[in-house]
Amino acid sequence: MLTEPIGVLVMAYGTPRSLAEVEPYYTHIRHGRKPTPALLDNLIERYRAIGGVSPLNDITSAQASGIEHRLNRFGPGTFKVYLGMKHASPFIADAVVQMARDGIRHAVSLVLAPHYSTMSVKTYQKEADDKAAELGIPSFVHVDSWHLEPLFIDLLADRVKTALKAFAPDAKVRVLFSAHSLPERILSLGDPYPQQLRETGDTVAKQIGLTNYSFAWQSAGRTDEKWLGPDILNVLRELHDGGEDNVVVCPAGFVSDHLEVLYDVDIECQATAQELGMHLTRTESLNADPRFLDMLSAVVLRRAEDLSGSGQ
């Protein structure tokens, strides 16, 4: 291990801190193009429906602080954690600038998403690398994915088992593992994202002896191109038509409570389920669960060993 402090760049999607920030946030997501009034109003109403703001920023900050505390437990000052957001302040590039100002020469990046995609995790890493190349430091090694980490699987398995307790012991219950949809063109690129979600769900299912489960995609973007499916709302309707009315949604692609969980699952999916007379519940998010932070810290520590091992 290096003797100088190692930087850790924890990256997440980001979210507005108030309704007034929704428009610039949405504009940033749209690469500088302002949303139409209808699109903006729709997004604002979704935030209002979950209480006005998402808890994501607070949760992400707690996750970053928890990771730093754990990394420095046995060597105070060995690691310094920085937080960078994709679409909200502090932005990824700003975090890298601060790392350079602090003299961080070697760093590990960790995206708070378990599954790798060239259209998600890779774009975070590229932003960090591009800014670091511009500044000259730091030199990054990246954590690409952690979708099969044993403790991650344990945590999801425990949450699925807990959610299943909401149903009668003899009830037939379908477990849906979901993640954020991405444009379908990633399939032609050989992108590992869909397969990694399946590997997570299959491994959880095997661990707890689950046989009645499947996969769905949610929260697709509002664009003209085709996105990965089947969409979770369509899956619910198909399950109902097939005589299955008990569902546990496990949003395995998300680690925190935020709009795509609190609205898309808890409100939108729940409304569809109620309309159909279905009983739907979801697994509890990982958020700042101490065991989850233990796992992320171990992943970072293992990747940091490559800094010294490569002679950097």
Known binding residue 180? Answer is yes
* Whole-number Cα distances in Å, 141 to 48, 264, 301: 39, 34, 11
Tell me the residue ranges of DSSP E strands in the chain: 6-12, 79-85, 106-111, 139-143, 174-180, 213-218, 246-250, 279-282
Q: Do domains 6-146+288-309 and 150-282 have the same CATH topology?
A: yes
Residue boundaries of the structural domains of the chain? 6-146+288-309, 150-282
Residue 26 has pLDDT above 80, yes or no: yes
Structure tokens at 76: 């105070």
Q: What is the CATH number of domain 150-282?
A: 3.40.50.1400
* 54 appears as a binding residue in the annotation: yes
CATH topology of domain 6-146+288-309: Rossmann fold (3.40.50)
Q: Is 13 assigned a ligand-binding role in the annotation?
A: yes
Residue 302 has pLDDT above 80, yes or no: yes
Q: Is 260 annotated as a binding residue?
A: yes
What digits encode the pLDDT tens for the residues 160-195? 999 999 999 999 999 999 999 999 999 999 999 999
Is 31 labeled as ligand-binding? no
Query: pLDDT exceeding 90 applies to what percent of the chain?
Result: 94
**pLDDT for 77:** 86
Over the chain, what is the mean pLDDT? Answer: 96
Question: Two tokens at 255?
Answer: 């680690």
For the cut 60, the answer to whether the pLDDT of residue 32 exceeds it is yes
| Annotated binding residue 46 | yes
Q: What is the pLDDT of residue 2?
A: 65
Residue 222's alpha-carbon distances to 36, 88, 266, 278, 281, in angstroms, are 12, 20, 20, 27, 26
User: Does 303 count as an annotated binding residue?
Assistant: no
Q: Is the pLDDT of residue 310 over 80?
A: no
The pLDDT-based confidence of 307 (bands split at 50, 70, 90) is: confident
- Residue identified by tokens 């496990």 is 250
Q: What is the pLDDT of residue 308?
A: 65
Residue 311 reports pLDDT greater than 60: no
Dump pLDDT digits (tens) for 33-81: 999 999 999 999 999 999 999 999 999 999 999 999 999 997 888 999 9
Alpha-carbon distance of 120 to 228, in angstroms, equals 14
Q: Is 124 annotated as ligand-binding?
A: yes
Tell whether the model's pLDDT for residue 90 goes beyond 90. Answer: yes
